[in-house]
Amino acid sequence: MPRYALTIAYDGTDFHGWQKQHPPDSEPLRTVQGLVEAAVEELIREPVHVLGASRTDSGVHAEGQVACFNSPREFDPKVLPAALTSRLPQDVQVRSAWQVDPAFNPIGDAISKGYRYRLAYARTTAEMRPLFDRHVTSWCPGELDLKAMQQAAGDLVGMHDFAAMTRVRHNRETTVREIFDCTVTEDGDRRLSIDVSGSGFLWNMVRIIAGTLVEVGEGRIDPTSIPDILASGDRQRSGRTMPPEGLCLMWIRFGAAGSGRAKQQLARARDQADSAE
């Protein structure tokens, strides 16, 4: 049975995240996974499960979500973006499609992901806040020290325990993750982008990283304190969780089958070894 992968973009404003949710005794919530599955089922006329690589939260956007499904029918992958997008609402698009190995797993085979957080700053009055792009750009009222933020961002790069920068009760076996790159870039007109790439991310991790860097820029957190914050494992020492609208999943890269899982297992092993010392 052929297996197809899709690159999916969506405006997360009116979604309850990527993952399907069906609360008891109520209608299913509007989710990206639910709508994409419905579009695929309409096309292939069979029940289907669409598996996504990243479970973005409510209000979070994506330009490069990747998902896959099995089909009893063969398709030219070139026709799938238009065929599926025509069956989706205007806030979801299938950007590309390709056939993959039957064993392809968008979760287990992912080796890196890239997120961007967009922020407008120094918005001291109501009329200065983002308007037409308010659903994809967050804001803060004060000036920010970008050099201090860039300095702090550099200390996030590497393999670290990010217990201090994830939601409490995260339900993960390990909080060790590897950040490949973290940059703060001025976009002009007192706007900036925080770009973070890594092997994987914990619940709210990128939004907390963004909030920590914003508080560095505001002078609330010392830019040299990032190593101490990470070592503490104390969520109260890091910055606030930024709102979801500024966050966008930009891209996902894949390796050989199971390579993403292998990296996670290595991180767990390193964490356990460090704890034993």
Tokens 């009760």 — which residue?
169
Residue 34 and residue 50 in contact, taking contact as beta carbons nearer than 8 Å: no
Measured distance CA(123)–CA(113) in Å, rounded: 30
Closest CA to 34 of 87, 102, 98: 87
Choosing from 14, 25, 57, 91, which is the catalytic residue?
A: 57
Measured distance CA(187)–CA(198) in Å, rounded: 22
195's tokens: 């770009």
**E strand segments, 144-229:** 158-161, 176-186, 191-198
Measured distance CA(73)–CA(36) in Å, rounded: 17
Residue 257 and residue 112 in contact, taking contact as beta carbons nearer than 8 Å: no
Residue type, 64: G
In the residue annotation, 57 being an active-site residue is answered as yes
Q: Using DSSP bridges, classify how beta strands 247-254 and 61-70 pair: parallel, antiparallel or unpaired.
A: parallel
Measured distance CA(172)–CA(200) in Å, rounded: 12
DSSP bridge partners of 49: none
Closest CA to 158 of 24, 27, 267: 267
What positions carry a catalytic annotation?
57
